[in-house]
Amino acid sequence: MKPNVFFVDDDPLILSSIRRQIFLKLPDVELVFCESADQALQLSMERPPAIVFSDVRMPGMNGPDFLDRIAELHANAVRFALTGQSEADLLERAFRVAHQVLTKPTDSSRLLQLIRASLAFQSKVVTAPIESFLLRILDGQGKFSTPAEISSLAGRADTSLSSIREFVEQDVTLKSRLLAVANSSSVSPARPVTTVAAAISLLGLRVVSVIHSGHVIQRQLGKDDFVLDEIRRSLDYGTMLTFRLNHAIQAVELPEELLDSAYLAATYFAFGRILFSSYNRQAYSDLREDCGDNIVELEKREKERFGVSQEVAGAYKLFLWGMDEDTCFAIANLTELSPNSWKIRSAIDMARQDLRYHPGLDNRRRLATPGI
């Protein structure tokens, strides 16, 4: 049976335009076009949607209310909201019920990318108990971002080291974590690092961004000690991977335009384990205890217990949160879907091997680190 993809908009011209642009390019998908939320809800009972694109402002039932009903009736449907600049009053509500909010008009190539990526992930988690958990709102969905503040600062022409230092200095927890990483055995500085400026100079902006993103995740998902420990372990591993990535990037001749995706993939490589521990703390705690330091056995048991690998689970959630498809496919090892993701994954796997055997990483720390 073909998956159903719904497009809901009260403007028939917009629906007609979408139909013309993508209809022939999705032969294995059933496209459903509706001019009202009521019509779409009625049809959804007969043809459950895999993906829903909905306009935000519509007469009768508006887009956020409609997507909220879709979430109740079809928990496994991926939900996209389409919004114009004049709809600020509905934007906050749209973020609460949609996995992603897209601006109108949305290019047809972007729609095709989102449909194909959504279906690719759904095919991997369709029978997994965790699927509905991955698709529902999870502690700040719509607010989570990859290392946004520091990355945006770094991308500005007028940014100086002092402006990033001031940003870090404002958060005592972030500052202490940055100094801890700079003085760790993975970095092995020539002398103790005691200032934020020195830590930033030593680590570089990409690694500082990784540490900051981990700080954001910790605030949003660290609800108890076990989950908090998983966050620290996963993001410590991501931080260490970034240190090993430079050589790997050169070895696989990764194009410069894919560097940010490669660093993001390294950062969030073990992100799925945070989700497993958030989904069922007791079950994952038991798995951890049973498997101890046996990473291979842990990965096997994760698939048996949760129906999906931590790589796919983490990448799917990151995709729903808006991370680019190349990065997500690389994390999930769905490299057949994109030549770019294959190149990124090759660099990541090489960095993982380097990290596994790097003499500066002691055996205890190596075995305790997830994802190795």
For residue 364, the model assigns a pLDDT of 33
How far is C-alpha 260 from the chain's CA centre? 14
Plot region of 177 (φ>0 → left; ψ -120 to 50 → alpha; else → beta): alpha
Task: Name the pLDDT band for 44 (thresholds 50, 70, 90).
Answer: very high
Percentage of the residues of the chain whose pLDDT score is greater than 70: 82
Global pTM value? 0.79
Segment 161-166 mean pLDDT: 76
Question: How confident is the model over 302-345, as pLDDT tens digits?
Answer: 888 899 999 999 999 888 888 889 999 999 999 999 889 999 99
**Long-range contacts of the stretch 163-166 (C-beta < 8 A, 24+):** 164/200, 164/205, 164/208, 165/196, 165/197, 165/200
- Give dist(CA 141, CA 100) in Å, integer: 9
CB 310 within 8 A of CB 299: yes
Q: Does position 127 have pLDDT exceeding 90, yes or no?
A: no
- Assess whether pLDDT exceeds 60 at residue 368: no
Res 221: pLDDT: 63
Q: Over the stretch 61-83, which tens digit does the pLDDT of each residue have?
A: 999 999 999 999 998 899 999 98
| Residue 342, pLDDT score | 93
Find where tokens 């022409």 sit. Answer: 157
Comparing C-alpha atoms, which of 36, 42, 32 is closest to residue 9? 36
What 3 state SS string does the chain have? CCCEEEEECCCHHHHHHHHHHHHHHCCCCEEEEECCHHHHHHHHHHCCEEEEEEECCCCCCCHHHHHHHHHHHCCCCEEEEEECCCCHHHHHHHHHHCCEEEECCCCHHHHHHHHHHHHHHHHHHCCCCCHHHHHCCCCCCCCCCCCHHHHHHHCCCCCCHHHHHHHHHCCHHHHHHHHHHHCCCCCCCCCCCCCHHHHHHHHCHHHHHHHHHHHHHHHHHCCCHHHHHHHHHHHHHHHHHHHHHHHHHHHCCCCHHHHHHHHHHHHCCCHHHHHHHHHCHHHHHHHHHHHCCCHHHHHHHHHHHHCCCHHHHHHHHHHHCCCCHHHHHHHHCCHHHCHHHHHHHHHHHHHHHHHHHCCCCCHHHHHHCCCC
Determine the pLDDT at residue 347.
92
Of the candidates 142, 144, 130, which has an alpha carbon nearest to the alpha carbon of residue 212?
A: 144
Question: pLDDT, tens digit, for every residue of 186-219?
Answer: 666 778 888 888 888 887 776 776 677 666 666 6
